[in-house]
Copies of this chain bind each other. A is one copy, B any other.
Amino acid sequence: MPTTCLRLTPQRNIILEELRGTRSHPTADEVYDMVRRRLPHISLGTIYRNLDYLHAQGLIRKLDKIGSQMRFDASMDPHLHICCMECGKVGDLPEDAASVSVRQEAMLDAEKTFQITGHWLEFHGVCSDCRTKGKIG
């Protein structure tokens, strides 16, 4: 018996449906606008809470490194993101776009839309202090 099961309230379901119906990687307030057409009384707090919930359940992606606002993405297949430095628009790139060997072919299509000017690569981990604390505490 799992202690937590997936609870899809009407609000959560509609948020998920709206997110799955777009490829625009919307921000929280864009999701708010989309959902409000169907649930006029939903609150922005519910949007945030449920986007977090859906992300914690592994149903959507949370792009918190792109621009000044969080963005959300319902497509869970492995792929990379490209962000316009002028307007903030976010597009998709194939998973292997980072490999130089395939870049010429694979990126041709994306480069019709986005002219790539740079990238950001950052690693995540746990530092030794926090690992030590985890063992002791």
Binding site for B on A (CB under 8 A): 65-66, 80-87, 89, 91, 93, 97-98, 112-131, 133-134
- In the bound complex, residues from chain B placing their C-beta under 8 Å from that of A118 are 123-125
Known contacts A80-B123, A124-B120; A115 and B131 CB within 8 A of each other: yes
A85→B115 contact, CB < 8 A = no
- The minimal Cβ–Cβ distance linking A95 to chain B, given in whole angstroms, is 10
The main secondary structure of chain A at its interface with chain B is strand
Which chain B residue lies CB-closest to A124? B118
A87→B122 contact, CB < 8 A = no
* Complexed CA–CA distance, A113 and B131 (Å): 10
B121→A87 contact, CB < 8 A = no
